[in-house]
Structure 1
Amino acid sequence: MNKHRYAQLLYGKVIYIYETELKKEDLYTVFSPDIYWIDITGQKCEVGYITEFKEGLGVVFTPPKEETQQIIAHENISPMLLSLANAVAEQEQRLVKLESKEQIK
């Protein structure tokens, strides 16, 4: 199967990138259906990038300016949200390890 990259957007900014073999419509099996995702497979896009819709081009991703990156790195994140993000990251690492073991067999 092919790997896909999806960006989670919030207020026009990429806040999370998820790589998986799931199709976009199946992301709700892992995440809340309220989360807005864009398929960024094959595109240069990282956490913190700013999104903008441009007529004739669609959604365009641009890196944040230097001072914006520093603000993003120091934003206050609630402990509960940070804990949840860590749990999701750990789960993703476990899934990647399991997928690797299955491919070796």
Structure 2
Amino acid sequence: MDDKLRFLLDPKNRKARKPSIMNYKEGEKGLYLLAKRQVIEWTDVHSYCHTCLSPLAFHDAFDASYCTECDEWREEICADLHCEYCKNRPAKPSDRKQR
């Protein structure tokens, strides 16, 4: 193959013949994300890591979600310096095992 890129543009007169994005079959309605050989419903994307797309875990003692793959918290520490959950939260989720 040569080093040229070729783009095939769809003519405007075919636009009416394309299926609408709203023409779903029953049971297929909604938006999905395909990641790591999984189909994730759009409404559940918030429960997956935005970096590696692994499912997030939740730590009750610190009232925060975290990614075990990235070893990072996915929730900010709150502004209250006396918060019982945030004041003792370690920098990384894996550091909690050492306490």
Q: Which protein shows a greater Rg?
A: 2
TM-score using structure 2 length: 0.27
Q: Which has the higher helix share?
A: 1
TM-score using structure 1 length: 0.26
Higher relative CO (Cα under 8 Å, sequence separation at least 6) belongs to: 1
Q: Which has the higher strand share?
A: 1
